[in-house]
Amino acid sequence: MTWQIAFVLVLAVGAMIAFMREKFSPDIVALTVFVLVAGTGLVPTTDAFAVFSNPGPITVAAMFVLSAALVRCGGLEYLTALVERGASLPYPVIVFLMLLLVAFISAWVNNTPVVVVFVPVVLTLARRMGLPASKFLIPISYASVLGGICTLIGTSTNLVVNGLLVERGIRGLEMFELAWVGVPAAIAGALYLAIMGKRLLPARETLTSILSEEERREYMTEAFVPPKSPLIGRSLRAAGLVRSRGFRVLEVVRDGIAIHIDPNSTPLEDGDRLVLACRPSDIALARATPGFDFTAEAGLEQIAAHEGVVFEGAVAPHSEVIGSSISELNFRQRFRVIVLAIHRAGENLREKVETVPLATGDILLMMGTEQAVNELRRGDEFILLDRPPLPSFSLHKRLPLVLGAIAAAVLAETLDIVPIHLGAIAAAVLVCLTGCLKPKEAYGSIEWNLLFVIFGMLSLGVAMQETGAAAWIAQLGVSAVDTLATGPAKPIILLAGLYLITMVLTELLSNNAVAALVIPIAIGVASEAGLDPRPFIIAATIAASAAFATPIGYQTNTYVYGIGGYRFGDFVRIGVPLNLMVFAIAMLVIPRVWPF
């Protein structure tokens, strides 16, 4: 072993640990890897920067744009309407049909927007069937993953692998090559979830359920603290407003800004406005409280009471609020709603919610007027969970253009007219030129942090190949298998070992990072054993996406984690059998379709 091999292995292990600890974002970890690979001279600088010309990430970006155009033009609304009509069907039947539909769509569209669109539909379906939403959300995430492994464009992982192969002069993945494993796995997975889902999936509370019935029917109003009010200089607790009968103080607004206030010590000032939540029968009591004035001085308009709508919304994957807290965002002034609680990682937070930095998939319990709710629904920061986003009917007539662009890219790749990366970029440009998507929306739809994760890990893959680390690991693995078996059993043991290692890594790390890391090793294992690399490439590609046992293994799992109120163990209970099922299907199919 050379020092270069040792350094690359240490770097790879360090990156894995950093991904798992999540102290730094994955893209920062990956770019740090890139800097170390290029800066230490492990590979020539030109070779390190050559990863930015890899067609895989560019294709991923183009597919994000096409997926956004499809959603923007209402391409999924017609299909989600079918699901809502199935409330009268038995649970196994509606789940099986719904999962096949989600899997089919995910074979052509990026997984995340599919799940984002289907979540409100599933929540409505659950209410109509009288079942908790947690009986449906994990299955639609799993179905999107299973659908993604059916086609070349189904998931970014497949496109990353394709880019790696093309870069190495190996024949890239064909459009439907993975379907030999993906289609049987999707059907078997849908059957398993339909039959066992109701028994294995938990019944979890939604965030709204932590409120009483009266709290869900409250009115919102603002009270003005006039000059010479007895409340001036007193804290909320000293003024008897913390547990006042009939109303709650949600927020204190001073000089037009919602301030952080300690109810035990922060004194009220002249001119403060208190946002109150009152039960319908107690609005009169709030108006009669000494020290409040519901009409501002100097003849200003009376502050009106509006019925408060309590609703839930998830932080969107590309939201600008990610990383900022409620107080930093000046949330009420910006969105005209109040945040009552936050749900994250299986826990409901009701204390100090204003100081918690928001993250993708966080569920916010909010209260606002119907007008404010509709304004929030039209924005891109949150996905409201009561019903799907307001449709853009004016863009429906452009839906055939989007479908035609995607179909043309697929057909061109299938018939070997142009490679998928060129076809995807051309299709993305077309949807922008025809007004299906504005350029700003196109750039905003791309998950740039994911692209930089891919670029950074591609540089690590280059370093592993150039330094001989991949060959060293492959030699070690083949030697270990030689001690266990020889003859006809050896190739299948190697294949199973590679699949299982990749699957475990995918449960803990980014699936794209795992693909970039494992594919060079898979090629090295085949070379060391004197076997065709194709079955090992296919196995690693499938295993790098088939992550079901943890909420962090795949981004759609993370997204439904908070919405469904799940716990980590819920994914283990239902995901491990599905992992083993897909593994068994892969081991049966791969050697027969791609002989060693």
Provide the 3-class DSSP secondary structure of residue 113.
helix
Q: Is the confidence at residue 247, as pLDDT, over 80?
A: no
Q: Which residues on neighbouring strands pair with residue 309, listed in sequence order?
A: 368
DSSP state of 349: E
Confirm if 502 and 544 have CB atoms less than 8 A apart: yes
Supply the mean pLDDT for the chain. 82
Please report whether residue 587 resides in a domain: yes
Residue 327, exposed/middle/buried by CB under 10 A (0-12, 13-18, 19+)? middle
Domain-located, residue 213: no
- Domain final residue pick, 306, 332, 364: 306
Query: Mutual orientation of helices 55-72 and 399-414 as an angle, nearest 10°?
Result: 150
Residue 458 sits in the same domain as residue 483: yes
190/229 same-domain check: no
Read off the pLDDT of residues 151-163 as tens digits, 9 standing for 90 and up: 999 888 999 999 8
Q: Is residue 193 part of a domain?
A: yes
User: Following CA atoms 436, 373, 360, 77 in sequence, which dihedral angle do they give, to the nearest 10 degrees?
Assistant: -40
Q: How many domains does the chain have?
A: 3
Query: Looking at residues 545-563, what average pLDDT do you find?
Result: 83
What does the pLDDT look like over 75-131, one tens digit per residue?
777 677 777 677 778 999 999 999 999 999 999 888 888 887 788 788 878 878 888
355 and 334, same domain (yes or no): yes
Please say if the pLDDT value at position 263 is more than 60. Answer: yes
Answer yes or no: is 131 within a domain. yes
Residues 111 and 243 in one domain: no
**Is residue 238 domain-resident?**
yes
- Statement to judge: residues 121 and 88 lie in one domain: yes
Once rounded to an integer, what is the mean pLDDT over residues 171-185?
94
pLDDT at 332 over 60: yes
Domain assignment of residue 398, yes or no: no
From 65, 16, 2, select the one nearest 507 (Cα to Cα).
16
Cα-based distances in Å from 346 to 119, 329, 566, 570: 17, 24, 5, 10
Q: Is residue 84 part of a domain?
A: yes
DSSP state of 360: T
What digits encode the pLDDT tens for the residues 192-226? 999 998 899 988 765 555 555 455 555 666 777 88
Is 397 domain-assigned?
Answer: no
Taking the C-alpha atoms of residue 557 and residue 547, their distance in angstroms, rounded to an integer, is 9
- CA-to-CA distance for 1 and 437, rounded, in angstroms? 52
> What is the distance of C-alpha 341 from the center of its chain?
21
Residue 507: its pLDDT value, please?
A: 87
Provide the pLDDT for residue 32.
93
Share of the chain above pLDDT 70, in %: 87
- Burial (CB count within 10 angstroms: exposed 0-12, middle 13-18, buried 19+), residue 568: middle
Residues 37 and 168 grouped into a single domain: yes
Tell me which of 390, 424, 448 is where a domain ends. Answer: 390
Residue for token digits 């061109």?
412
End-to-end CA distance of the chain: 29
Nearest of 550, 30, 159, 119 to residue 317 by alpha carbon: 119
Give the number of other CB atoms < 10 A from CB of residue 278. Answer: 21
Instruction: Decide which of 596 and 349 is more confident.
Output: 596
CB atoms within 10 A of CB 480: 12
Q: What is the pLDDT of residue 286?
A: 63
Do 588 and 499 sit in the same domain of this protein?
yes
Indicate whether 123 and 251 sit together in one domain.
no
Of 345, 329, 346, 347, the residue nearest 337 (C-alpha):
329
In this prediction, residue 4 carries a pLDDT of: 84
Residue 92 vs residue 476, higher pLDDT: 92
- Alpha carbons 72 and 283: distance in angstroms, whole number: 42
Residue 566 has pLDDT above 90, yes or no: no
Are 420 and 502 members of one domain? yes
Residue range(s) defining the domain that contains residue 226: 219-306
Where do the H-state alpha helices sit in 22-54? 26-39, 45-49
| 369: helix, strand or coil | coil
**In contact, 338 and 279? CB cutoff 8 Å:** no
Residues 323 and 300 in one domain: no
Provide the sign of the torsion angle of the four alpha carbons 235, 240, 242, 246, taken in this order.
negative
pTM: 0.77
Q: Using the 3D structure, point to which of 306, 323, 341 is the last residue of a domain.
A: 306
Let me know whether 269 and 328 are in one domain.
no
343 with 353, same domain: the answer is yes
Whether 289 has a pLDDT exceeding 50, the answer reads yes
Which residues, 6 or more positions from 404, have their beta carbon under 8 angstroms from its beta carbon? none
Round to whole Å and give the CA distance between 243 and 237.
Answer: 8
**Amino acid letter, 283:** I
Q: Which residues of 78-105 are buried (b: 16+ CB within 10 A; e: fewer)?
A: ebbeebeebeeeeeeebbbbbbbbbbbb
Torsion 378-381-384-387 (CA) sign: positive
Q: For residue 534, what pLDDT is reported?
A: 95
